[in-house]
């Protein structure tokens, strides 16, 4: 019933605002896997799992008329009678228990590691939305919005490369000259790159022919 990551093309890692019966149907139908954090009161079946303090169980979620009414099943040609999913309890560093739904057979330790991988993605969303102001468009036309979007993504990618390179050089210098570990100020660096991106891209010295 459950699939190892070695045969699953994609593993969807989702926070606790995303669990739904439809996702637990759609994702496996496409041959993929999911790891979804859910609230302890997500559904009655999860509540029943939480109360006895179990760590790992297979749940059978009946697709009742009420659930069909409250969930978007419009894209399914046939709604199944039930959905089976696995639920595990994870102890986070905060000493709080969280609950993950999945259709994989990873160990609890592997699932905890997988779920933590999404934090870098969340961090990048923060960069795009807050620092790059991705949703602050200068145009109201379709093409203008697309241009704004792709320019900011390109600028963010270039900034990430430059900041990583600068941090690597700084780390090397600090090994021999300083006992303190300094970090590149990403906010300042990003602001400079945003303002100088046109000059940077137009710099002819960056367009050198590769060595033959």
Spatial distance between the Cα atoms of 195 and 200, rounded to a whole number of angstroms: 10
Tell whether pTM > 0.85. Answer: no
pLDDT reading at 42 higher than 80 = yes
Query: What are the respective helix, strand and coil percentages of the chain, to the nearest 5?
Result: 50, 15, 35
Ramachandran class of 39: left when φ > 0, alpha when ψ lies in -120 to 50, beta otherwise: beta
Whether 197 and 161 map to the same domain: the answer is yes
Q: Look up tokens 């169980």; give the residue.
A: 57
Nearest-5° Cα angle at 40, 96 to 114: 65
Q: Using CA atoms, how far apart are residues 70 and 98, in angstroms rounded to an integer?
A: 24
Tell me how long the chain is.
212
94 and 168 together in one domain: no
Count structural domains, the chain: 2
| Distance separating alpha carbons of residues 8 and 27, to the nearest angstrom | 11
Pair 13, 90 in one domain: yes
Asked if 181 and 174 touch (Cβ cutoff 8 Å), the reply is yes
User: What is residue 199's predicted lDDT score, i.e. its pLDDT?
Assistant: 82
pLDDT at 178 over 70: no
Give me the mean pLDDT over the 64-72 stretch.
74
Give the pLDDT band of residue 96 (cuts 50, 70, 90). Answer: confident
Q: Supply the Cα-derived Rg of the chain in whole angstroms.
A: 23
> Would you say residue 83 lies in a domain?
yes
Q: 197 lies in which domain range?
A: 122-207
Q: Residue 27 gets which letter from DSSP? A: H
Same domain (yes/no): 111, 127: no
Nearest 5°: phi and psi at 64? -80, 165
Which residues, 6+ apart, have CB-to-CB distance to 53 below 8 Å?
89
Both 135 and 93 in one domain: the answer is no
């Amino acid at each position: 019933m459950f699939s190892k990551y070695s045969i699953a093309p994609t593993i969807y890692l989702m926070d606790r605002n995303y669990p739904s019966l439809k996702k637990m149907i759609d994702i496996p139908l496409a041959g993929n896997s999911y790891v979804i954090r859910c609230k302890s009161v997500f559904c009655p079946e999860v509540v029943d799992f939480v109360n006895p303090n179990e760590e790992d169980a297979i749940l059978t979620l009946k697709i009742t008329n009420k659930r069909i009414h409250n969930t978007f099943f419009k894209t399914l040609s046939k709604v199944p009678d039930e959905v089976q999913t696995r639920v595990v309890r994870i102890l986070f560093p905060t000493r709080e228990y969280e609950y993950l739904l999945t259709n994989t057979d990873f160990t609890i330790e592997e699932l905890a590691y997988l779920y933590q991988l999404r934090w870098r993605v969340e961090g990048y969303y923060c960069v795009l939305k807050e620092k790059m102001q991705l949703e602050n468009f200068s145009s109201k036309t379709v093409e203008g919005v697309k241009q704004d979007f792709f320019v900011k993504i390109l600028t963010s990618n270039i900034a990430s490369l430059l900041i990583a390179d600068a941090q690597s050089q700084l780390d090397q210098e600090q090994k021999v000259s300083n006992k303190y570990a300094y970090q590149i100020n990403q906010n300042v660096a990003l602001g400079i790159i945003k303002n100088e991106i046109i000059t940077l891209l137009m710099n002819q010295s960056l367009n050198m022919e590769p060595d033959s």
